[in-house]
């Protein structure tokens, strides 16, 4: 069902060697850097590997070489994607053009910042869904696709209940006097734009929820199970699992950081300009504010923007809570007794009839275990989640506040230039 949705949006990719639609796969398993370690090789700590078992570990992805029919088919599909992008770009281009014509009307500027997010998100989705990142994270894709579609339909219904807010000079479809053409174009744009928007928002939430679930499973295994009793270095195994968890979230950040930061900045600027224009400085009471038709429409994307930012901060907070749970547990007396208990040297000395090599081995084992414990604590204490743009962090909501400040400062500069002219 997800493939059908991606195909409809023009952002689906295939295992074919044709760049616009070529599928890319995230590397399943990193190379073992210890193979080149001289000490490890000397002590033969890594078993020799033969080619045969390795084929079971690595999935080799090959891309089909396209024939002439494939080239024609995927070229047509690429043109279809470009047409969708152009459709989504009409409104921001139109509002910017109208604002340039009349710089006193900042409603066009607010509308531009609101609508330019959609084509930007579409370009990001075109790139993102060429990878298999989402498929690797989600477990029930059919249900999650239904959620995206349902919210898109609800959003369209809400807009239909106030259709007059679109039929004015602030929306490009008013240029057509024919009502049939007007409704056809606006419904077509809504279908694509709403699905694009909610696919982006819910993809992030679903992926983050998957990371949180994986962390919860790791914590339960750490607390309930006897963690790798047969391992010679259980703490090292735990560190490896924590590093894998961290690597997975960093991969997600690498995909989502730029788009979340940009949409936050543009959305915050739009919201700030809209509020400053809707509520002038000389307004004494909120009830004195007068809403125009277009103002009512902009309230809808403003609410969606706020909800998306709250969801972002919520999932970041939930993930940080899970990480802190692990950090708190490894510092607990239960964990220390389980992994850091040391047999007294005197006891070993007496039991082994004074064999110093065994005593030395016990001291070395305890030292290495303690070092692993310190490393594990340091890894968990570091800041993992941090979406940034231009050096501004979103981990504490700083980007949202600075986006509002950017919008206010931009509006002030525009007003200043207008007064001087």
For 340-372, what is each residue's pLDDT tens digit?
A: 766 665 666 566 666 666 656 666 666 777 787
Confidence of residue 107 (pLDDT cuts 50, 70, 90): confident
More confident: 376 or 141: 376
In a domain, 26, yes or no: no
- Using an 8 Å Cβ cutoff, are 170 and 97 in contact? no
What is the rounded CA–CA span in Å between residue 194 and residue 197? 5
In a domain, 361, yes or no: yes
The whole-number pLDDT of residue 50 equals 40
As given in the structure block, the two tokens for residue 64 are 């089909």
Residue 81 has pLDDT above 50, yes or no: yes
The whole-number pLDDT of residue 34 equals 47
Residue 125: half-sphere exposure toward Cβ, Cα within 13 Å: 29
The whole-number pLDDT of residue 360 equals 67
Q: What is the residue-wise DSSP string for 199-237?
A: HHHHHHHHHHHHHHHHHHHHHHHHHHS-TTTT-S-HHHH
165-169 contact pairs (CB < 8 A, 24+): 165/293, 165/294, 165/295, 165/296, 165/297, 166/297, 167/293, 168/293, 168/294, 169/98
Q: Give me the chain's average pLDDT, please.
A: 77
Residue 229 has pLDDT above 70, yes or no: no
In a domain, 61, yes or no: no
* The pTM of the whole model exceeds 0.85: no
For the chain, what is the total number of helices (H) and then of strands (E)?
Answer: 15, 2
As given in the structure block, the two tokens for residue 248 are 């997975």
User: For residue 393, which phi and psi values (nearest 5 degrees)?
Assistant: -90, 145
Q: Which residues pair with 389 in a beta bridge?
A: 392
As given in the structure block, the two tokens for residue 190 are 């809504």
The whole-number pLDDT of residue 343 equals 63
Q: What is the pLDDT of residues 63-77, one digit of tens each?
A: 788 899 999 999 999
The whole-number pLDDT of residue 282 equals 61
The whole-number pLDDT of residue 320 equals 77
CA dist 279 → 68, 157, 276, 288 (Å): 60, 28, 5, 9
Q: What is the pLDDT of residues 391-416, one digit of tens each?
A: 655 554 555 556 556 656 666 665 55
The whole-number pLDDT of residue 90 equals 94
The whole-number pLDDT of residue 127 equals 93
In a domain, 92, yes or no: yes
What is the rounded CA–CA span in Å between residue 125 and residue 123? 5
Task: Using DSSP, state whether 389 is helix, strand or coil.
Answer: strand
Q: With CA atoms as reference, report the closest residue to 95 among 79, 117, 78.
A: 117
Phi-psi region at 354: left, alpha or beta (left = phi > 0; alpha = psi -120 to 50): left
The whole-number pLDDT of residue 47 equals 44
Confidence of residue 175 (pLDDT cuts 50, 70, 90): confident
In a domain, 407, yes or no: yes
CA 330, 332, 337, 343 torsion: positive or negative?
positive
Domain count, the chain: 1
The whole-number pLDDT of residue 421 equals 52
In a domain, 28, yes or no: no
Q: What is the pLDDT of residues 205-220, one digit of tens each?
A: 889 888 888 888 888 8
Residue 37 has pLDDT above 50, yes or no: no
As given in the structure block, the two tokens for residue 406 are 């950017």
- Using an 8 Å Cβ cutoff, are 199 and 148 in contact? yes
Residue 173 has pLDDT above 60, yes or no: yes
Mean pLDDT of 48-56: 39
The whole-number pLDDT of residue 225 equals 58
In a domain, 126, yes or no: yes
The whole-number pLDDT of residue 375 equals 81
Contacts of 24 (CB under 8 A, 6+ apart): 13, 130, 131, 132
Mean pLDDT of 113-125: 94
Q: Which residues pair with 393 in a beta bridge?
A: 388
Give the number of other CB atoms < 10 A from CB of residue 409. 13
Whole-angstrom Cα Rg for the chain: 28
- Using an 8 Å Cβ cutoff, are 117 and 259 in contact? no
In a domain, 2, yes or no: no
Confidence of residue 41 (pLDDT cuts 50, 70, 90): very low
Q: Which residue has the tokens 């504010």?
A: 289
Instruction: Please list, residue by residue across 71-86, b when 16 or more beta carbons sit within 10 angstroms of its beta carbon and e when fewer do.
Output: eeebeebbeebeebbe
More confident: 379 or 196: 196
What is the rounded CA–CA span in Å between residue 169 and residue 180? 18
Instruction: Please give the residue range of the domain that contains residue 220.
Output: 69-420
Q: What is the pLDDT of residues 122-151, one digit of tens each?
A: 999 999 999 988 888 776 666 678 889 999
């Amino acid at each position: 069902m997800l493939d059908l949705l991606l195909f409809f949006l023009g952002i689906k990719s295939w295992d074919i060697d044709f760049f616009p639609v070529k599928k890319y796969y995230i590397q399943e398993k990193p190379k073992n850097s210890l193979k080149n370690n001289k000490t490890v090789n000397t002590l033969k700590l890594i078993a020799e590997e033969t080619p045969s078992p390795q084929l079971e570990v690595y999935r080799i992805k090959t891309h089909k070489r396209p024939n002439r029919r494939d080239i024609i088919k995927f070229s047509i599909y690429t043109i279809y994607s470009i047409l969708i992008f152009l459709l989504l770009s009409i409104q921001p281009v139109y509002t910017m053009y109208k604002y340039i014509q009349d710089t006193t009307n900042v409603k066009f500027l607010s509308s531009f910042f609101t609508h330019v997010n959609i084509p930007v998100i579409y370009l990001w989705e075109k790139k993102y869904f060429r990878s298999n990142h989402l498929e690797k994270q989600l477990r029930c894709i059919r249900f999650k696709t239904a959620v995206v579609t349902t919210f898109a339909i609800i959003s369209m219904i809400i807009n239909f209940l106030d259709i007059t807010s679109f039929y004015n000079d602030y929306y490009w479809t008013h240029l057509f006097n024919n009502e049939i053409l007007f409704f056809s174009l606006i419904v077509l744009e809504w279908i694509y734009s709403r699905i694009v928007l909610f696919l982006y928002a819910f993809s992030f939430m679903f992926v983050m929820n998957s990371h949180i679930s994986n962390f919860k499973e790791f914590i339960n295994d750490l607390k309930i199970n006897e963690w790798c009793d047969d391992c010679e270095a259980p703490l090292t195994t735990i560190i490896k699992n924590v590093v894998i968890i961290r690597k997975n979230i960093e991969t997600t950040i690498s995909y989502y950081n730029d788009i979340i930061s940009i949409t936050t900045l543009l959305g915050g600027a739009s919201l700030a300009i809209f509020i400053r224009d809707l509520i002038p400085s000389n307004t004494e009471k909120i009830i004195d504010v007068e809403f125009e038709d277009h103002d009512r429409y902009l309230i809808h994307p403003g609410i969606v923007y706020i909800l998306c930012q709250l969801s972002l901060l919520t999932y970041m907070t939930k993930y940080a809570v899970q990480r802190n749970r692990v950090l708190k547990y490894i510092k607990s007396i239960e964990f220390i007794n389980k992994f850091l208990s040391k047999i007294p040297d005197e006891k070993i000395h007496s039991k082994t009839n004074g064999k110093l090599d065994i005593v030395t081995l016990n001291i070395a084992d305890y030292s290495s275990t303690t070092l692993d414990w310190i490393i594990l604590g340091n890894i968990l204490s570091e800041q993992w989640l941090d979406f940034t743009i231009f050096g501004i962090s979103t981990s504490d909501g700083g980007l949202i506040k600075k986006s509002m400040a950017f919008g206010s400062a931009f509006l002030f500069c525009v007003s200043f230039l207008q007064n001087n002219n």
